[in-house]
């Protein structure tokens, strides 16, 4: 990876692409983690560069009406507060070069506003990339959460300027690398709704893991493959054969649930499921069984909720998170929804939490991320 030690930014106009795509509701930032995580590179640049120009996307822009609620203006105020310095917020209609001349730090408006013009940002349009590049002398991509996307503002622009990755991307990649060569036993806990969404991830991890613990709605397709009655629980018929083969090939590694919650206050054995039962969360015995494996593991990757958390079925996910937090082990939490569940259910934790849901999963599936620049 090309990092900041490979790029001279002294007295230059430095463009930094951050991922400041933070959750916003009623004009309030709900979680500023991505802003905080971006500060290290910005501060480094502020000490050396003549100008710092920051870019980011926010949300998705499909119609002109999407612009109002996806302006980076309130992010500029938050960033200014965290940096304890003035941050000039600049719209695309203003004289941008003058704004850069007059200010040390400029945050440009949402890059995805250009998606209204033939998806130019998201499709990595070359002219737009060149336009973005015209504002600076060098480019730092530090937007890990967007590293799996090839957009004009994170990848296209690097074709026109000397470029490297920032500290956040470097740190994120180093964290994920811990899973390439893990301290053992290495356990993956996987939940979420669909087996079909996870096949690439399972296939790339199964040979590396010592244990794979499966919960969430996806476990019912595995249970069905084992010949169990799953009632009206969520099932993907087309994936039963895949699950059968996996269970057969890796029978010593894969652990499924023994009981489940069919109501918020009713936990029953899988053997007692009837043709009408619907499973919503892993049960008490299953949590105990998973905990035994967790306790002897040294490295754990957790992806996907173990129950229907939005519906109040938090028992399994919460208890497993608590077990993971108990003693010293490397715990990596991956995937946007898992990170939100974790922040909601166990905010005070020692986990390695990625700022990039999709990006971290793509990386773990062995895919090359276009936003990570090779040397």
Catalytic residues: 34, 194, 336, 358
Least separation in angstroms between residue 149's CB and ligand 3PG is 5
Least separation in angstroms between residue 122's CB and Mg ion is 12
Nearer to ligand 3PG, 185 or 336 (CB): 336
Least separation in angstroms between residue 153's CB and Mg ion is 16
Q: Under rule CB under 5 A, which residues in 51-110 are in contact with Mg ion? A: none
Contacts of 320 (CB under 8 A, 6+ apart): 189, 215, 287, 290, 291, 294, 302, 306
CA–CA gap between residue 360 and residue 355 (Å, rounded): 8
Helix (H) or strand (E) holding 45: helix 33-48
Residue 304's region, left for phi above 0, alpha for psi from -120 to 50, else beta, is left
Nearer to Mg ion, 66 or 258 (CB): 66
Count residues binding Mg ion (CB under 5 A): 1
281 is in the binding site of which of Mg ion, ligand 3PG, none (Cβ under 5 to 8 A by kind)?
none
* Chain positions contacting ligand 3PG, by CB under 6 A: 19, 21, 60, 145-146, 149, 336, 357-358
260 is in the binding site of which of ligand 3PG, Mg ion, none (Cβ under 5 to 8 A by kind)?
none
For the chain, give the longest Cα–Cα distance: 71
Nearer to ligand 3PG, 96 or 352 (CB): 352
Token pair 């899973």 in the structure block, residue: 179
Least separation in angstroms between residue 46's CB and ligand 3PG is 23
Nearer to ligand 3PG, 231 or 336 (CB): 336
Judged by CB under 5 A, which stretch of 84-92, 184-192, 295-303, 357-365 contacts Mg ion? Answer: 357-365
DSSP annotation string for 121-169: TTTT-HHHHHHHHTT-SEEEE--GGGTTS--TTTTGGGGTSEEEE-HHH
Nearer to Mg ion, 21 or 163 (CB): 21
CA–CA gap between residue 175 and residue 38 (Å, rounded): 16
Q: Quick one: DSSP state of residue 234? A: -
CB 206 within 8 A of CB 253: yes
145 is in the binding site of which of Mg ion, ligand 3PG, none (Cβ under 5 to 8 A by kind)?
ligand 3PG
Dihedrals φ, ψ of 141, to 5°? -100, 115
Q: Which residue is closest to ligand 3PG by CB?
A: 21
21 is in the binding site of which of Mg ion, ligand 3PG, none (Cβ under 5 to 8 A by kind)?
ligand 3PG
Least separation in angstroms between residue 336's CB and ligand 3PG is 6
CA 299 to chain centre: 19
Q: Applying CB under 5 A, which residues contact Mg ion?
A: 358
């Amino acid at each position: 990876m090309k990092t900041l030690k490979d790029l001279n930014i002294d007295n230059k106009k430095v463009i930094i692409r951050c991922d400041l795509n933070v959750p916003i509701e009623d004009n309030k930032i709900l979680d500023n983690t991505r802003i905080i995580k971006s500060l290290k590179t910005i501060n480094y640049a502020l000490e050396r560069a003549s100008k710092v120009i920051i870019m980011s996307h926010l949300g998705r822009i499909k119609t002109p009406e999407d612009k109002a609620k996806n302006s980076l203006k309130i992010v500029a105020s938050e960033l200014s507060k965290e940096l304890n310095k003035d941050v000039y917020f600049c719209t695309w209609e203003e004289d941008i070069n003058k704004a850069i001349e007059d200010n040390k730090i400029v945050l440009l408006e949402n890059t995805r506003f250009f998606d209204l013009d033939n998806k130019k940002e998201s499709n990595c349009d070359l002219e737009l990339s060149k336009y973005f590049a015209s504002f600076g002398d060098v480019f730092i991509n530090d937007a890990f959460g967007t590293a799996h996307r090839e957009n004009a503002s994170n990848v296209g622009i690097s074709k026109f300027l000397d470029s490297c990755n920032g500290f956040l991307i470097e740190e994120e990649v180093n964290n994920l690398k811990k899973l390439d060569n893990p301290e053992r036993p290495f356990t993956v806990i996987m939940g979420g709704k669909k087996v079909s969404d996870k096949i690439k991830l399972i296939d790339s991890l199964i040979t590396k893991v010592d244990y794979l613990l499966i919960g969430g709605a996806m476990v019912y397709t595995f249970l069905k493959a084992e010949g169990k009655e799953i009632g009206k629980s969520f099932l993907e018929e087309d994936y039963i054969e895949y699950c059968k083969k996996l269970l057969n090939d890796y029978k010593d590694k894969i652990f499924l649930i023994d009981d489940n919650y069919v109501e918020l206050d009713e936990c029953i054995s899988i053997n007692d499921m009837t043709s009408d039962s619907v499973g919503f969360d892993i049960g008490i015995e299953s949590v105990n069984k998973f905990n035994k494996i967790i306790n002897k593991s040294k490295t754990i990757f957790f992806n996907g909720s173990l129950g229907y958390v939005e519906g109040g079925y938090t028992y399994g996910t919460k208890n497993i998170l608590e077990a993971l937090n108990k003693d010293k082990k490397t715990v990596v939490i991956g995937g946007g929804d898992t990170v939100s569940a974790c922040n909601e259910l166990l905010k005070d934790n020692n986990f390695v939490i990625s700022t990039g849901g999709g990006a971290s999963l793509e990386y773990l599936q062995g895919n090359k991320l276009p936003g990570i620049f090779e040397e």
